[in-house]
């Protein structure tokens, strides 16, 4: 079973949502503990192991570190603007 860690940016977004949306996102993130690569996930960067999973109108971007059994949720947001600054996000994840 993987450990899930939220980056501050993702945590802040989730906390700012309505109770219904927050519950939806948390359930999706908790599911990553058992299945970090669900069938509905999409690999955005194979080298850095960056994935995206859908949760309604929201997207969750995360990195998988298999050796450490760790899933790092880097960003969560509305589908219309989640990919803004994706290049900067990928660079920050590669640094650790």
Among 24, 6, 31, 39, CA closest to 78: 24
Provide the mean pLDDT of the chain.
89
Confidence (pLDDT) at 94: 65
Q: pTM of this prediction? A: 0.87
Total number of domains in the chain: 1
Confidence (pLDDT) at 96: 57
**Domain range for 20:** 3-95
Confidence (pLDDT) at 8: 93
Positions in the chain short of pLDDT 70: 90, 93-96
Say which CATH number the domain at 27 has: 3.30.2310.20
């Amino acid at each position: 079973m993987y450990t899930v860690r939220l980056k501050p940016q993702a945590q802040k977004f989730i906390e700012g949502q309505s109770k219904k949306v927050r519950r939806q996102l948390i359930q999706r993130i908790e599911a990553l503990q058992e299945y970090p690569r669900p069938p509905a996930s999409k690999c955005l960067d194979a080298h850095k192991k960056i994935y995206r999973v859908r949760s309604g109108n929201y997207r969750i971007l995360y990195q998988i570190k298999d050796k450490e059994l760790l899933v790092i949720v880097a960003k969560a947001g509305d589908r219309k603007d989640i990919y803004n600054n994706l290049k900067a996000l990928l660079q920050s994840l590669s640094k650790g």
